């Protein structure tokens, strides 16, 4: 017979309330706690106070624990609540929900299962994947499984009022000046030689001076962290000894993931983990760096009905999860994870807003990137930009002033919505990614056929800020090009180095027979699949011909990203030449495959210097940081258009010129927006042949064109001095290259 934790007799709370307290568990001045949990379909809910009475026993041994149960009052508007005296900070707890077990009607109440508080701010313990937690709370016959899950699931922990923190001073970087850097907490510093070993791969490590120096020297203004909400691996991954390294499997929306804290903080408990996160944010703020969190509110770690039974499924399955309408038991899945949170329910919207405000107000972060954000804007008819959740983000006095970024798609009907989110939200621009990759990689790989297929029109639209996607808000043009978060790579997909070295994905290490990950890579291996065996400095054939072209392609991609109108996002490690060995879906790889390597070869140091130069060029010249869409004509009080396009002969582009199919040479002139600011000319040759390009005449009042950078240069200084004037009137532009020229005033 299974051993069970010791259970004391049921008690009643000693105080009732005439109103519903805030959801979650909060300490009170009398040494007790106020408790409130949503379980609108339950017939009763118990608060379970858990004590470790035999610490010498394994954490999954039932004899390790004793349990005290308190029956909560309610339901009041679906909430069960009470006040419990004499509960100190650090107390472990959970809930047990009583009610009907009728999976056909969506009801899955099972008091044998200890349930996590959706509002818990900290957890202890890990998840043991035993049958009791893997079948949605059901036994082999479909009835409620009676095995007590208490020893096999994490426990929520009561946290006291938070310690004093320095006043919150946000950097508040203007969107036009923003450079985003997407990174993973562990992967960023796990191998950094200047970060002390005990801090590597941790929140504290992210804020170490060596890391801050790297970010600031790279011109990064805004650090976007992959999910740091408490998460757990899916059962099928754990069964293969793998983990969900990226963290897109949320277990708690209010608690930081303890595995990214230092060992000392983990041993001290959840309050210390939270304090380390807050300390990281504070130190980054002191360095002038904003912190955005990648947040996953579209689904939970519980997966499909036959998967985990941890929290939401046992408390209120019909309310929390989206169902397909044909059956109350059938989950609708527009996220590809087995479940979808139902944003038609005001309590789901409340949970999300409460979580966002907590991370903004208490932890101090500066904004959020919303994973699969279309799910968050779905009502009964599908996606709408007027969804109550999106309206709340626009109007909330705290959240509306933060940086809010949507991943504007999910896998449901009408799931692609790039450009459809309301101000003040920005959006990942997949059209930018596809256009840049197709122009610089897919087209030359296909030769003359590719040149005809992927001409200039799509690329120039993206270079100018994607007004076709983001220029139709109400009032018109309100968001501007900064709403377009431009990127060429992200955490999912090839790294920059792999994008130029692999034609095909190589995901065998993920254990899915290379079926996972996208096949639409738009990459180019430049003739040989993979990296040179001895490193990319190999001088033997075919590498001596392939490697220099690959390096130039990386510089072309970086320049297009960092000099286009819009908000650029770099992926951590791209500036170092990081490779994942061709894995374009490394979500299971908590290993050197995903971690940044900091031991750079000469090519890596040159690439880093180039990335730093390009971000510096962007910061130096206001012409490269457009806040509003270009008109293509003079603005009020100006004499010249705010954007000019020229062909290879230096002739202004007219309608007929734009209609030429397969055009691969273009000149983009962006005048300085204010007196005394330099004009910038981008000269692009996407063709397979060198070209003699006639430059346009400098604008009135500007000096001669100076070539300050070329993607043909291995280092920013190049073979010429950076301030050396280009030959008057023209440049010889090598194939597949970008030149940047400046006319100073």
Q: What does the pLDDT look like over 645-671, one tens digit per residue?
A: 999 999 999 988 998 888 999 999 999
Q: What are 616's two structure tokens?
A: 């510096």
C-beta atoms surrounding 9 within 10 Å: 6
Residue 496 has pLDDT above 90, yes or no: yes
Region 258-286 average pLDDT: 97
Residue 626 has pLDDT above 60, yes or no: yes
With vertex at residue 718, the alpha carbon angle to CA 177 and CA 619, rounded to the nearest 5 degrees, is 10
Q: What are 519's two structure tokens?
A: 């096949």
With vertex at residue 153, the alpha carbon angle to CA 152 and CA 156, rounded to the nearest 5 degrees, is 145
What pLDDT shows up at residue 725?
45
Catalytic residue among 407, 590, 606, 706: 407
Strand, coil or helix: 101: strand
Question: What is the pLDDT confidence band of residue 412, given thresholds at 50, 70 and 90?
Answer: very high
| Between 726 and 378, the higher pLDDT residue | 378
Strand, coil or helix: 416: strand
Structural domains of the chain ordered from first start: 6-157 (2.60.40.10), 175-619 (3.20.20.80), 629-743 (2.60.40.1180)
Known catalytic residue at 739: no
Residue 380 has pLDDT above 60, yes or no: yes
Residue 726 has pLDDT above 50, yes or no: no
Give pTM, 2 decimals: 0.95
Q: What are 428's two structure tokens?
A: 């990942």
Give the C-alpha separation, 383 to 275, whole Å: 38
| Between 465 and 661, the higher pLDDT residue | 465
Q: What are 243's two structure tokens?
A: 């983990």
Residue 22 has pLDDT above 70, yes or no: yes
What pLDDT shows up at residue 508?
94
Taking alpha carbons only, the member of 701, 696, 645, 643 closest to residue 670 is 643
593 close to 583: Cβ distance less than 8 angstroms: yes
Percent of the chain with pLDDT over 90: 81
- Residue 665: CA count within 13 A, CB half-sphere: 22
Known catalytic residue at 371: yes
What pLDDT shows up at residue 159?
96
Tens of pLDDT, residues 390-408: 999 999 999 999 999 999 9
Residue 8 has pLDDT above 80, yes or no: no
301 close to 237: Cβ distance less than 8 angstroms: no
Give the C-alpha separation, 392 to 425, whole Å: 12
| Between 738 and 446, the higher pLDDT residue | 738
Helix axes 543-563, 602-620, angle to 10 degrees: 20
Partnered with residue 743 across adjacent β-strands are: 679
Catalytic residue among 371, 536, 648, 706: 371
DSSP 65-78: EEEEEEEPEEEETT
Question: What is the pLDDT confidence band of residue 634, given thresholds at 50, 70 and 90?
Answer: confident
Question: What is the pLDDT confidence band of residue 720, given thresholds at 50, 70 and 90?
Answer: low
Lowest-pLDDT choice from 3-17, 366-380, 647-661: 3-17
Contacts of 578 (CB under 8 A, 6+ apart): 495, 496, 497, 572, 596, 597
Tens of pLDDT, residues 60-84: 999 999 999 999 999 999 999 999 9
Give the containing element (helix H, strand E) for 171: none
Residue 166 has pLDDT above 90, yes or no: no
Question: What is the pLDDT confidence band of residue 676, given thresholds at 50, 70 and 90?
Answer: confident
Strand, coil or helix: 548: helix
Give the C-alpha separation, 156 to 559, whole Å: 47
Region 208-218 average pLDDT: 98
What pLDDT shows up at residue 165?
57
Question: Phi and psi for 609 in degrees, rounded to 5?
Answer: -60, -40
């Amino acid at each position: 017979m299974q051993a069970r934790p010791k259970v004391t007799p049921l008690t009643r709370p000693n105080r009732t309330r005439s109103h519903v307290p805030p959801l979650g568990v909060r300490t009170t001045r009398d040494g007790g706690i106020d408790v409130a949990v949503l379980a609108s379909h339950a017939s009763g809910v118990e608060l379970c106070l858990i004590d470790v009475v035999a610490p010498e026993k394994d954490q999954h041994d039932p004899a390790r624990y004793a349990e005290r149960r308190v029956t909560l009052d309610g339901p009041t508007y679906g909430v069960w609540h009470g006040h419990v005296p004499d509960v100190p900070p650090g107390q472990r707890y959970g809930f047990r929900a009583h009610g009907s077990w009728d999976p056909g009607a969506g009801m899955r109440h099972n008091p044998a299962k200890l349930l996590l508080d959706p509002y818990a701010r900290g957890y202890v313990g890990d998840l043991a994947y035993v049958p009791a937690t893997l079948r949605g709370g059901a036994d082999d016959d479909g009835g409620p499984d009676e095995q007590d899950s208490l020893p096999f699931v994490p426990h929520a922990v009561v946290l006291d009022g938070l310690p004093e923190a320095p006043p919150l001073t946000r950097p508040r970087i203007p969107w036009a000046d923003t450079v985003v850097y997407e990174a993973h907490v562990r992967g960023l510093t796990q191998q950094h030689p200047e970060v002390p070993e005990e801090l590597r791969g941790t929140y504290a490590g992210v804020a170490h001076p060596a890391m801050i120096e790297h970010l600031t020297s790279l011109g990064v203004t805004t650090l976007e962290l992959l999910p740091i909400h408490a998460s757990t691996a899916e059962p099928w991954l754990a069964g293969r000894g793998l983990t969900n390294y990226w963290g897109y499997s949320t277990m708690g929306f209010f608690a930081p993931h303890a595995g990214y804290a230092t060992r000392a903080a983990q041993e001290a408990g959840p309050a210390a983990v939270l304090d380390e996160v807050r300390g990281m944010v504070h130190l980054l703020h002191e360095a002038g760096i904003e912190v955005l969190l990648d947040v996953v509110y579209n689904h939970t770690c519980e997966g499909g009905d036959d998967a985990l039974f941890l929290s939401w499924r046992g408390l209120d399955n019909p309310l929390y999860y989206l169902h397909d309408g044909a059956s109350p038991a059938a989950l609708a899945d527009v996220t590809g994870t087995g479940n979808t949170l139902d944003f038609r329910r005001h309590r789901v919207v409340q949970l999300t807003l409460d979580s966002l405000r907590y991370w903004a107000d208490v932890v101090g972060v500066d904004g959020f990137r919303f994973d699969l954000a279309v799910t968050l804007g779905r009502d009964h008819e599908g996606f709408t930009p007027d969804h109550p959740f999106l309206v709340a983000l626009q109007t909330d006095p705290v959240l509306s002033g933060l940086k809010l970024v949507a991943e504007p798609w999910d896998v449901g009907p009408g799931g692609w919505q790039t450009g459809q989110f309301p101000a003040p939200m920005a959006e990942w621009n997949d059209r930018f990614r596809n256009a840049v990759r197709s122009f610089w990689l897919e087209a030359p790989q296909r030769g003359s056929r590719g040149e005809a297929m992927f001409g200039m029109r799509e690329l120039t639209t993206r270079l100018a800020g994607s007004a076709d996607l983001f220029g139709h808000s109400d009032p018109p043009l309100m968001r501007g090009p900064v709403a377009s978060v431009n990127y060429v790579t992200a955490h999912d997909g090839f790294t920059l180095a792999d994008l130029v070295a692999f034609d095909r994905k190589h995901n065998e290490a993920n254990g899915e027979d290379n079926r996972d990950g996208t096949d639409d890579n738009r990459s180019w291996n430049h003739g040989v699949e993979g990296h040179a065996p001895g490193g990319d400095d190999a001088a033997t054939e075919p590498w001596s011909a392939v490697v220099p072209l690959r390096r130039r392609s990386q510089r072309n991609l970086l320049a297009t990203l960092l000099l286009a109108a819009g908000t650029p996002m770099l992926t951590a490690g791209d500036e170092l030449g990081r490779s994942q060995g061709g894995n374009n879906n490394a979500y299971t790889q908590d290993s050197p495959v995903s971690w940044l390597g900091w031991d750079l070869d000469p090519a890596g140091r040159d690439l880093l210097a180039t990335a730093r130069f390009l971000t510096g060029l962007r910061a130096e010249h206001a012409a490269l940081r457009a806040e509003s869409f270009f008109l293509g004509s003079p603005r009020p009080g100006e004499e010249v258009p705010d954007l000019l396009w020229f062909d290879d002969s230096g002739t202004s582009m007219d309608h007929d010129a734009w209609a030429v199919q397969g055009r691969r040479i273009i000149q983009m002139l962006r005048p300085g927006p204010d007196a005394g600011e330099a004009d910038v000319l981008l000269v692009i040759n996407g063709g397979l042949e060198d070209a003699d390009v006639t430059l346009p005449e400098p604008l009135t009042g500007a000096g001669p064109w100076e070539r300050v950078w070329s993607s043909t240069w291995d280092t920013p200084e190049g073979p010429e001095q950076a301030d050396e004037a280009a030959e008057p009137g023209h440049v010889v532009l090598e194939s597949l290259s970008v030149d940047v020229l400046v006319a100073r005033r």
